[in-house]
Amino acid sequence: MSRSANGLRLLRSLFSAAFLLSAAVLAIAAVGLRPGVRALAERYAKEPIAVRKPLSEFDTSRLPSFAEGWTREDIPPEEIETDEFAIIRLTRRNIAQGPKEVVLFVTYYSDPKSKVPHTPDVCYRQGGAILKEMKNITIDVPGLARGREVKARLLLFEQQTYNQAVIFCFFADGRFRHSREQVRWLIGMPGNRHVYFSKIETAANYPKDASPDSAVELCKTLFREAVPLLISEHFPTIEQLKR
């Protein structure tokens, strides 16, 4: 047998041995990897967490600029995909020109698989409203312990017999966000053991031939007064979220 034939046979043998060794290493790694991946998934899986105090018990008497008109409780939970919510109409105490009534609408979710449903720009239009303007705004909220400037979203709608100003944002895992995409990214991040998010919304009507400025300021005032109470008394603390 020639030297070249022997060399070829030797190479084949070596390659075959290397292939078998590589396959064996991969098989062992796969067997060991599965429990490791499963353990990591279990370790970093997020769990729901309840509010500290039901939103239905929101204390409107602690809002210095408003008096409660009525609380609406007749919305089916399946319509907003949660049974933890509050819809409260409030009347401005200081009677002045412009809108006098404003609505606070707060929802709370704690499902790690949630798609973050129901934003006003979608839901209001489904009810027949015409979206005339939408923009990001910053609201100064002096009552917050940290981060006084909150980014929110302002929407102006045209209804059949009136116009409407709406301000909303999300509060997710202790942070403010103003879009669904931001909230989805935040609640999907590894880290905290528990997960939640809330949509905080204020809305005021104004005449079709009037400027929206007074209605917008009324929504901002309610937002400034309601948000600190929601965070300090209802939403879970940062410490409660941790592992």
pLDDT for the residue 242: 81
The residue extents of the domains of the chain are 1-44, 47-241
Q: Give the pLDDT confidence score for residue 87 in this predicted structure.
A: 94
The mean pLDDT value of the chain amounts to 85
Q: Which residue has the higher pLDDT, 36 or 219?
A: 219
Between 22-26, 135-139, 216-220, the lowest mean confidence (pLDDT) is in 22-26
| pLDDT (tens digit per residue) in 89-115 | 999 988 776 789 999 999 999 988 888
Lowest-confidence pick of 8-12, 86-90, 208-212:
8-12
Whole-number pLDDT of residue 85: 94
Q: Is the dihedral of CA 58, 163, 220, 155 positive or negative?
A: positive
* Model confidence pLDDT, tens digit, residues 197-236: 999 999 999 999 999 999 999 999 999 999 999 999 999 9
Per-residue pLDDT band for 4 (boundaries 50, 70, 90) equals low
pTM of the model: 0.81
pLDDT at 20: 56
- Asked whether the beta carbons of 68 and 60 are under 8 A apart, the reply is yes
pLDDT at 74: 72
**Mean pLDDT of the 70-84 span:** 81
